[in-house]
Every structure is written in structure tokens, then in C-alpha cells.
Amino acid sequence: MSSPTIARGVIDPRQALAPVSRRIFGSFVEHLGRCVYTGIFEPDHPSADEEGFRTDVLELVRELGATIVRYPGGNFVSGYRWRDGVGAVEDRPARLDLAWHSLEPNKVGTDEFLSWCTKAGVEPMWAVNLGTAGVLDAVDLLDYVNGSAPTAMAEQRRSNGHEEPYGVRMWCLGNEMDGPWQIGHMNAEAYATAAVNAARAMRMVDPDLELVACGSSGPFMPTFGDWERTVLEACYDEVDYISLHRYYQEKDGDLASFLASAVDLDHFIEAIIATADHVGAKRRSSKKIAISVDEWNVWYQGRAESKVPSGDEWPVGPRLLEDKYNVADAVVVGGLIVSLLKHCDRVTAACQAQLVNVIAPIMAEPGGPAWRQTIFHPFAQAARLARGVAVPLHLDAPTHETQEHGAVASVDGVATWDEDSDSGAAFLVNRTPGTTIDVEIDLGAIPGAKVRKVSLLTDDDPYRRNSAEDPGAVVPRDGLAKEEGNLVHVTLPPVSWTVIELGREQ
């Protein structure tokens, strides 16, 4: 039996889980707080390009490695009138954003965001308003964005200076419609009807779309499970994905439970898969519904940063949800990425919420600098290195007790291997608050594989943060590995995220 401070694992690509979808490394831009205005868009900023987009932010987005970006919400989308955001900017109306008690000036809309996607090198994932709009509005938006026929909507896009269709493939059928906070909230039966009608109509325009039905906003919802069953029983043949959303935060100083947040995400994903497969089995269908974890992150919802304006105050781009992330938060984000990769046979899309300023890996001050928060680093490393197939590590690890999750493995991890490039990586989290753990990994199933680099994100103070004044306070640093034949030994400090880069000589 393993020593309490030793964990052992093996990487065997013959036991691969599934190919790693690039869409797992998605992000999210919502018209919320400063994500858009003074986030990605600030015409008066010294770095702004000819369209008003901050090029310093664009550079960090490319470095982050985001592959797909969900837009325009989020809660915002359930009250959004997309026509307000097209055409001459000077003629666009300002509207009340009821979701976040803000003023939406509509300076950035459909065409601007799609132009930004091209510059950022990301694929758009579009959410339609099923809260206060409906089927025809969704069809008109789809025709505006993707239409090639001489229709009113496609001609409007052309007259707005965009001759060619954008070809957006992935569409979300509303947002968090199970939540009573959502404008136009529906029960499961009503949403199922709205979603299946929208899906059928949109597929009449383009049968090759990839459609995402709203799943539960969290396992805490009283309708969880029944919601997915009801929705999928109506929509199973019309949609490709069911979504889930999940956020985590440290509660009452319980660091041990917080560091093990991925245990909860594992259970949530597996419950949704079971529910979807139950519906498929009842229908005698060979089709498998994929999972889109299109909102996930660390979010301290009880903090003052998350308090929305009220009364007569309707500001444009207020400072909302601007959590400042620390080392522990980054380790949790790393653990959540491990969870997504371990389920990549069914999780083929995921969006960290959000991209800039709002519970975000990137912060940007108006007129000032942009910098990387601690959570930027595990995402960027995984997006760059997790290629090919995901491979379980089969870790034999010690356990420790947590108040929220019971006994959990002290080390969690997953590997990837790309045969085409003869390279791979192992991603490891030490989720104990105070125990150093030595890890031994057997590479015998990959003849010739060697360690190229070890990277470690940790600090003696798990609450240390980056800031505009000290943006490099927490960054990945080089670590050490000892190689003995096929065995690799690395030491994981408490509260740490470790990446081992592997490769064969070309």
C-alpha cells in the first residue's frame, strides 16, 4: 500500500478516453460589467485598433488559447434585442439591461463581435433569446448571420458592409431557463416546447447547425435531473448538446473542501450523462448527447463585487463581478480543467466564464494596462499542451477528509498524448492544504518518452494574487523531475498545479 505522501500513476495511450476537443478550451463574453466596454472594446485606449478593440487584450486572449467564445450571454441574452446592435452605430438605441441593472449602449453588437472573433482567432458560440423573444427572432438572427439567399435579413447584413455569411455553427437555445432569476423563466415543459420549436425552425434554415439545449444551472436546483429528462425527451432528436453551469468558491475558510471542487464537477457531469443516456435508452436511440459545460469558474457570489446597481442608477459598464484571484483559485481552476479532460468522451465543449474583467483570467484597466490573473496560467497551459487524446493516470493516491466532499484523493490528474507530434503532458493537482506529495508516473507504455519540462504554480501563501502593480507575483515556475528508467518522479507542494511536458526525440 502506498505511503501517505506518495502517489503512483501510469500513462498508457492504449487506454485513451477520447480525442480532446479543442472546444473544451472555450471562454465567454457577456454584456455584463466591463467585459465588453473597457474590456475587449475601448476606442479611446492607446492600444485600440481602428474598430475600437483593445489590442493588448487581444494579445492576451491569443496567449490564453481560447478556442470558442460564447456570446452575448448569459442572463443578458434573455432581454437582448439583437437588432439594436446592427447598422449605423450612431443610430443604435440604448436599452435597459434588466439582468444586471445596467445601460446597454449597443456600441458593440453582432457584426462587431464577429469581427473581434476573427481578430482573436476564436470560433463564436451564439446564444439566442428564448426568454423574451422566440422562434422567428432566432430564425431572423440566424439568417442575418449565416444567410446566403436574397432575404431581408441577409440583405441587411450586406448593406451593413458584410457581404459574406459568417458561418456560425454552434448555437445555444437560450440561457439558464430553469432559473427564476432569468427574464422569461420557464418551467421544464414550457422550455422544452420553446427549444424544440426553435431547433426545428433553425434546422430548416441550416440542418448542419450544432444546437445546445439548456440544462440545469447547477445541481442545487430543485428541478435538477427532472429538467434534463423533460427537455431531452422533447428535444433529443433536434439538439446535439445539453448544457450545464457550475461555479465554485471557498466558503467559511474551508480551503480543503474548496480545493476538491472538481469532485463535485465530476459528479455533476456524470449525473447529466446518466440522465441523457436514460432518455436515449428509452428512445432506443444510438445517438449520444454531448455535454457543453458552457459556464464554469471560481466565482465569489457573496462578495460586494457581485452586487448589482439598484434604484435609478443604470451605468454603462459598471465594475461588476471583478473577483481578484489567488493561488488557491488557480489550483481549483486547474482541477476543474482536469475534470473536463477526464470526461472528454462526452464533454466536447466548455466555456470558462468570463474572458475579461468579469470573473476573468484577464483584467484590463480603462486607459491602462491589461494583465493575467492567477487563473490565466492553468487554462493557457492546458489549452496549449492538451492535444491528441486524453489518457487516465490511474492514480493510486492517498486520501484526506473534507467537510463538503468527504474523503477525496489528495492528488488528481490526467494526461494527454498526441501521436502525430510524439508529445504529451500530465496535469496534476495537489489539493491538500498542507501535505507535500511525491508522485511517480510510469511511462513504460510510451517507449522513448522523456520529460521535456516541469512547470509548477504554487506559493507559500495560497492567497497571494496578481495585480496591475505586480502582475507577475504568481506565475508558473520551472520544477524538477527525476527520471529512473521508465519512471518519472515529481514533488507536488501543497495547493499546487503541476504540468509535466513529455516527448520523444523526433
Instruction: Return the percentage of the chain with pLDDT > 90, whole number.
Output: 98
- Please compute the mean of the pLDDT values over residues 289-312 and round it to a whole number: 95
- Asked if 59 is an active-site residue, the reply is no
Delineate the domains of the chain, giving CATH numbers in brackets: 6-11+391-503 (2.60.40.1180), 21-385 (3.20.20.80)
What is the distance, to the nearest Å, from the Cα of residue 332 to the centroid of all Cα atoms in its chain? 14
pLDDT digits (tens, 9 = 90+) for 259-282: 999 999 999 999 999 999 999 999
The verdict on pTM exceeding 0.75 is yes
pLDDT at 131 over 70: yes
Averaged confidence pLDDT in the chain: 97
Q: Which is the catalytic residue, given 176, 210, 250, 501?
A: 176
Note the pLDDT of residue 505.
76
- Assess contact for 442 and 403: CB atoms under 8 A: no
pLDDT at 3 over 70: no
Is residue 9 within a helix (H) or strand (E), and if so which, with residue range?
strand 6-10
Q: Which residue has the higher pLDDT, 490 or 2?
A: 490
- Asked if 112 is an active-site residue, the reply is no
pLDDT digits (tens, 9 = 90+) for 41-72: 999 999 999 999 999 999 999 999 999 999 99
- Assess contact for 113 and 77: CB atoms under 8 A: no
- Residue matched to cell numbers 501535505: 435
pLDDT at 1 over 70: no
Beta-carbon contacts of residue 216 (< 8 Å; ≥ 6 apart): 178, 223, 224, 225, 227, 228, 244, 245, 272
pLDDT digits (tens, 9 = 90+) for 364-422: 999 999 999 999 999 999 999 999 999 999 999 999 999 999 999 999 999 999 999 99
Q: How far apart are CA 428 and CA 412, in angstroms?
A: 6
Note the pLDDT of residue 274.
98
Q: Which residues of 162-178 are buried (b: 16+ CB within 10 A; e: fewer)?
A: beebbebbbbbbbbbbb
Tell me the C-alpha to C-alpha distance, in Å, between residue 223 and each of 178, 218, 290: 8, 10, 20
Q: Which is the catalytic residue, given 30, 42, 104, 295?
A: 295
Note the pLDDT of residue 263.
98
Note the pLDDT of residue 5.
83
Note the pLDDT of residue 506.
64
For the record, the C-alpha cell of 233 comes out as 425527451
Identify how many contiguous H helices and E strands the chain contains and give both numbers: 10, 25
Long-range contacts (CB closer than 8 Å, 24 or more residues apart) made by 114-121: 114/145, 114/166, 114/168, 115/51, 116/40, 116/41, 116/51, 116/53, 116/58, 117/69, 119/49, 119/53, 119/58, 120/58, 120/61, 120/62, 120/66, 120/69, 121/62
pLDDT digits (tens, 9 = 90+) for 185-229: 999 999 999 999 999 999 999 999 999 999 999 999 999 999 999
pLDDT digits (tens, 9 = 90+) for 235-247: 999 999 999 999 9
Note the pLDDT of residue 2.
37
pLDDT digits (tens, 9 = 90+) for 88-99: 999 999 999 999
